[in-house]
Each structure stands twice: as C-alpha cells, then as structure tokens.
Amino acid sequence: MRYGIFGDVHSNLQALRAVVEALEAERLDGLLCLGDLVGYGADPGPCLEIVRELDPYLVGGNHDWGVAGRLSLTYFNPVARTAIEWTREALPAEAVAWLGSLDVTGMAGEHIVLAHSTVHDPHLFEYLVTPYDAYLSFRHLTTDLAFVGHSHVPATFFDGNPVTPVYETEVDLAGRRAIANVGSVGQPRDGNPNAAFGVYDEETGRLTLHRVAYDVERAAARIRKAGLPEILADRLHLGR
C-alpha cells in the first residue's frame, strides 16, 4: 500500500487544495489524516467537505474537539479560543457534531497507528517533539509505525536506546520502529510557509516528506476578512 498522509489543515482552503492536487499526482492506495481539520483559518466548511469527500483514515484533533464542545476551551490560548468560537458559529450543526464524533487515535490497516498528539496520552493533547516524548509513545505503541500531528513540525523518530530524531525529507522506515510527523497543511511552524504532506510506501518502507507552495496571500486575506485575529494571517507568511 502507498499512503498519502496529511493533517493540521486548520481551515486553510488554499493550502488544502494545493495538497490535494499534489496527492492526486501520486499513485496512492489510501489516505491518512491526522486531524485538526479546523481552527485558525477562515474556510472550515469547504475544508470539511473536501476531507469528508476524500474519506481518509482519520483521527480528530484538539481543535476539532474544541469546536464540538468535547474539549474545554480553557485548554486553548486566547487566539485559538477566538478561532474555535468563530468556527463553531460558521459551521452547520451537523458538521460540528461530526467533528465531535472523531476519535483521536485510530488504525490504518493492522500496522499503522494514527494519533493526533501522542500515542501514550492522546487525550491530553501534548506535543511529541523531543526524543523523550517519542520514547513515551514507543512504550505504548503496539505496532512498528505511528503517524502523529499536532506540533506542525515535520520529524521522524526512530526507536532505540537512545530514541533518535531525524529531519530528512527521505526516510527509510524498513525494519525499524518509527513515529513520524509529516507537518501541517494549513499552518506550518518550521519556518517554511509551504503546505506539508507525506507519502509512505509500505512495500519499500520509504517515507517522503513533501512541501507545496500555495496562495498564502489569499488564505491570509480570508482570515482578515473574517475578522479572525490578525496574527493568524501574519504567521502563514512566516511558517511559524
């Protein structure tokens, strides 16, 4: 199986369209989505329609649960909270309920674990960014491979003593235990404003991390027009 992997869309329609177009150019057997479809951006409705149409293996994120009222807004900083409240008003009740129905962990087939935040405490929505975070998740991982989202920073961690992070765009996962984050579609935070996604080939074990340019100006303009916090528009240009 060859999987396309994406997540942290965050209602960024321009970025999502660019990623979907790039995914369509790949020969794929399935799609994996790591959650946070909404929050921050100005087009939650169209983004949900696209993702639901794609019908990927899917887990929900903290923003999805926040909008649905399944996670307390005290979890979020004021800017994120404002965006969540705005999103809840912008979406039909059916879409809000659907977001609340998503689990935050799941499986794609028998070998690939999906979790929005961490494998070890998926309901706490902590970030998996250090080797120690990955170590905790490896202890709970029942297979050899997991994909996570949430941090918006692409990285692959290999199990071992010590757990080793790599930040390459071509990674060989064959015969190793790994936890990978392919980055964020709609709000990259690694200093690169281009939308991120990944392709994983189960036969070869190769994971490839991709970036695709999109109309950042338009996505930022949509955020300003919606009256969402200005910083959510500004940070798209910086990829921070």
154-183: contacts with Zn ion (CB under 5 A):
none
- Report the C-alpha dihedral over residues 228, 231, 235, 240, rounded to 10 degrees: -120
| Minimum distance from residue 187 beta carbon to Zn ion (Å) | 7
Nearer to Zn ion, 36 or 202 (CB): 36
* Nearest CB to Zn ion, comparing residues 36 and 133: 36
Separation between Cα atoms, residue 43 and residue 155, nearest integer Å: 27
Q: Which residues of 133-158 are buried (b: 16+ CB within 10 A; e: fewer)?
A: bbbbbbeebeebbbbbbbbbbbbbbb
CB 66 within 8 A of CB 76: yes
Query: What backbone torsions phi and psi does residue 165 show, to the nearest 5 degrees?
Result: -90, 140
Per CB under 5 A, the segment of 6-14, 89-97, 103-111, 166-174 that binds Zn ion is 6-14
What does the alpha-carbon distance between residue 27 and residue 11 come to, in Å, rounded to a whole number?
Answer: 26
Q: How far is the CB of 75 from Zn ion (least distance, A)?
A: 13
Write each residue from 21 to 50 as x if it is in contact with Zn ion (CB under 5 A), else as -, in one continuous string. ---------------x--------------
Quick one: 4 or 188, whose CB is closer to Zn ion? 188
Residues touching Zn ion: how many (CB under 5 A)?
2
Residue 124 Cα distances to 58, 82, 116, 159, angstroms: 18, 21, 10, 22
- Report how far residue 146's alpha carbon sits from residue 161's, in angstroms, rounded to the nearest whole number: 18
Cβ of residue 22: shortest distance to Zn ion, in angstroms?
20
Q: In terms of CB distance, is 71 or 173 closer to Zn ion?
A: 71
Residue nearest to Zn ion (CB): 36
Strand-pair partners of 58: 33
The 8-class DSSP code of residue 111 comes to T
Closer by beta carbon to Zn ion, 173 or else 228: 228
Q: Which is nearer to Zn ion, 177 or 189 (CB)?
A: 189
- Interaction of residue 8 with Zn ion, rule CB under 5 A: yes
> Which of 7-15, 68-76, 88-96, 125-133 is the region at the interface with Zn ion (rule: CB under 5 A)?
7-15
Which residues make up the interface to Zn ion (CB under 5 A)? 8, 36
